[in-house]
Structure 1
Amino acid sequence: MKGTPSFGKMNKGGSHIRCRRCGRNSYNPTKHKCAACGFGKSKRITRYSWKTKKVNGVRLK
Structure 2
Amino acid sequence: MVVESLPTVSVLALDAVALRDQIDSYGFTQRCYDLLTSPWRQAIGPAHSDDEKIRS
> Normalising by structure 2, what TM-score?
0.24
Structure having the larger proportion of residues in strand:
1
Greater relative contact order (CA < 8 Å, ≥ 6 in sequence): 2
Structure having the larger proportion of residues in helix:
2
